[in-house]
Chains A and B, each alone.
Chain A
Amino acid sequence: METPKLSPSQLTGPEWLQAKRAGSLTSYNDLPLPQRGLHLWRYTDPRTFVIDSAEATTTSVESTFADVARVEKQHFDDGHLDALVIDNQGQTITSDLSADASAAGLVAGSLTAALDSHRELAERYLYALVNTAFGKFEAMNGALWQDGVFVYVPDNAVLTRPIHLLREAGTNGSRQFPRLLVIVGANAEATVIDEYGGGADEAGDTPSYSNGVVEVFGGAGSRTRYISLQRHGRGMNAYLTHRAQIANDASMVTVPLAFGGATTKQNFGVNLNGRGANSEMAGLLFGGNYQHFDNHTLHHHTVGDTYSNIDYRVALKDRALSAYTGLIRIDQKAKNCEAYQENRNLLLNPGTRAETIPELEILNEDVSCSHGATVGPIDPLMLFYLTCRGIPTDVATRMIVSGFVASTFDKIPSDARERVAAIVESRLGDI
């Protein structure tokens, strides 16, 4: 299929960035559409993410956005956050920082502003992980993002409270290209909650569109927690590529949470680039109606003495579909690595569908590695055990599902846990 060529009215930013954007645009226009049925596109039609105009659009998001923004503002005012950044449709970025965080040197706010204020960092890290080499849709974001979010935690700074980012999309027919760059310095510590909301509310609406990129860098000895909370409206088609890179003795916890959207394709990956690096991923997806989720994870061990673990959990009801592909790649010279991966899928009724594809590319033999996957309904024996203690079947079912998601919940900072619990609770409501 011929996809429309994009020609934005302008490629914004300083000269070096304009060159990046121009390169990205050329790549987007030159690269063919990924072939349906080939690797990573077996379950999702790539045309879902094609657009016919390069211009981002915005709509008023007052209605869907105000409530959550108010709650988070309150959290910030009550001293539960080190920063609150509000990203309105990739165009207007506003931020508040706590006094402690400012004193510690935290920068959290507009990416465009950081191009001037932190030019060296921006030029060094932006596009370093997700660039034109990645693929057509990543190149589209690279060309078209307008403003994004920049988070910089200086070396040795320890932030005890979350940096909460609210990334709000426009409603029906809107297009946005959210971008995020997080740099956590050596021996620094930070938690980033990256929350995506908004978009067309209902599946029948004119769809909204989002194409996002996230790059996260963890310096030597740093400790980073990154939570991606996707709770878009049911009329949103969203594509997101996340890549993180961690240096020696750095640890990173990545928590991809997916609840919203119509068709969404998200790709989360961490490169373990230094000895002693440690990466945990705890994913949770809860789909309903006719939602279509296509998710990938990657743990790439480029050096030895590194550890990674993935626990990706999926619960589906109604007619929802999830396809999960989890890749562990261990380079030839990366000896003495440990890498584990597990994907569990709970099908709450017939008519749901879950595909799970574990992939291992392990190029040396001096590793400990395991992967596992399960797909199935609630264990009837588990249900019997609860019901024969007097617990009615519907309550018992909800208990089992709550238990299923509990291990992921433990990894979610309390600031976001309440909202995630409310989403899960509402999904469980009519089971």
Chain B
Amino acid sequence: MANGLFSFSDVHVEVEGKEVVRGASLTVNPGEIHAIMGPNGSGKSSLSHGLMGHPAYEITSGTVTLNGADLTEMEADERSRTGLFLAFQYPLAIPGVTVANFLRAALQAHRGPDADMSDFRSLVKGEMDALGIKHDFATRYVNDGFSGGEKKRLEILQMAVLGPRMAILDETDSGLDIDALKTVAEGINRFSGQDNGVLLVTHYQRLLNYVQPDFVHVMMDGRLVKSGGKELAVKLEEQGYEWIEAEVAEMAGAN
């Protein structure tokens, strides 16, 4: 298999001593949009957190690479600076830290401590306009008292400002009304390009009506058990996950 842009191979993730991802592998090539779908508790979010380097989600075996660099042993901040991005399902509030200061610190960290930041304001304002975010948003404290839609917009704004090579979006559609969903989807589509990759992690295929994935993978019980194209997501939407469970059980029986 080609190394691609981003790939993880036979990744196992443990939370509090319990294995929640039990050998997952995937390769994303530049320009591709992948989706991982699966029922609640299948390990999707744990995989996302483990890939990003969450201290409580330990990768116990397997490797993760991005653009030729081995991320597996890196801390979260190094993974980010290498080009990995995770949009949170539940973004954290940071009281007392403004959105502008946060974005500036993040961008400065990516560019290096002595890098020129004179374009910062225009860059952020431009991306805010594109996402329909009012400029006074920049002076508010990060996610502090934000609505669900505002939080998700801020995640997409961060992605747009930092311009990662690989973006993982964890349940970014959850809790959004249809207008917010469209805005967020437009943000993802604008971001997605020939040089970067996108991995959508989602329970529902609602977002996939607005962001067309090239590949859909199904996660169950800590493993990626089935892959296909967009039609797989449609089938899951119509028929649920039971038929895959049956299929997996049958294969396990055959073995």
Contact = CB atoms under 8 A, between A and B. Distances in A.
A and B associate: yes
Contacts of A386: 94, 102, 105-106
B80 A388 contact: yes
B170 to A, nearest CB: 11
A74 interface: no
Contacts of B81: 390
B209 interface: no
B109 A391 contact: yes
Nearest to B91: A385
B77 interface: yes
A413 B145 CA distance: 26
Counting contact residues on chain A (CB < 8 A from B), the size range is: 20 to 34
Interface string A385-415: 1111111110110011011111100000000
Interface stretch (A64-72, A194-202, A376-384): A376-384
Contacts of A399: 94, 97, 101-102, 105
Contact of A403 (B53, B79, B88, B97): B97
A402 B96 contact: yes
Interface in B25-78: 52-56, 75-77
B80 A403 contact: no
Interface in B122-166: 141, 158, 162
B97 A389 contact: no
Given A386-B106, A406-B97, 14 more contacts: A381-B92, A386-B94, A388-B53, A390-B106, A390-B110, A390-B162, A391-B77, A399-B94, A399-B97, A399-B101, A400-B97, A403-B95, A403-B97, A403-B141
Interface in B82-101: 86, 88, 91-92, 94-97, 101
B126 to A, nearest CB: 19
B75 A393 contact: yes
Interface of A: 379-382, 384-393, 395-396, 399-400, 402-407
A387 B96 contact: no
Given A390-B110, A390-B162, A384 B96 contact: no
B232 to A, nearest CB: 29
25 contacts: A384-B92, A385-B88, A385-B92, A385-B94, A386-B105, A388-B52, A388-B77, A388-B79, A388-B86, A389-B77, A389-B102, A389-B106, A389-B158, A391-B106, A393-B75, A395-B105, A399-B94, A399-B97, A400-B94, A400-B97, A402-B96, A403-B97, A405-B96, A406-B95, A407-B96
A403 B94 contact: yes
Contacts of B96: 402-407
Given A402-B97, A403-B97, A390 B92 contact: no
A381 B76 CA distance: 12
A388 B166 CA distance: 13
Contacts, number: 79
Nearest to A405: B96
Counting contact residues on chain B (CB < 8 A from A), the size range is: 20 to 34
B6 to A, nearest CB: 15
Contacts of A390: 77, 80-81, 106, 109-110, 162
B77 A392 contact: yes
Nearest to B75: A387
A428 to B, nearest CB: 13
A284 to B, nearest CB: 12
A404 to B, nearest CB: 6
Contacts of B88: 385
A403 B101 CA distance: 10
B97 A388 contact: no
Given A389-B102, A389-B158, A390-B81, A384 B76 contact: yes
A387 B80 contact: yes
A309 B35 CA distance: 49
Interface string B167-192: 00000000000000000000000000
B158 to A, nearest CB: 6
Contacts of A406: 95-97, 141
Q: Which 4 A-B pairs have the closest CB atoms?
A: A403-B96, A406-B96, A390-B80, A389-B106
Contacts of A384: 54-55, 76, 92
Contacts of B109: 389-392, 395
Contacts of A393: 75, 77
Nearest to B95: A403
Quick one: which of A386, A400, A405 has the most chain B CB within 10 A?
A386
Contacts of B106: 386, 389-391
A121 B91 CA distance: 56
Contacts of A379: 92
B77 to A, nearest CB: 4
Nearest to A381: B92
Contact of B55 (A380, A382, A389): A380
Contacts of A391: 77, 105-106, 109
A403 B102 CA distance: 11
Contacts of A387: 75-77, 80
A402 B101 CA distance: 11
Contacts of A381: 92
A372 to B, nearest CB: 14
Nearest to B110: A390
Contact of B76 (A388, A395, A405): A388
Nearest to A403: B96
Contacts of A404: 95-96
A218 to B, nearest CB: 29
Contacts of B141: 403, 406
Quick one: which of A393, A406, A407 has the most chain B CB within 10 A?
A406
A389 B94 contact: no
Nearest to B78: A390
Contacts of B158: 389
A406 to B, nearest CB: 3
A391 B86 CA distance: 14
Contacts of B53: 388
A396 B75 CA distance: 13
Nearest to B82: A390
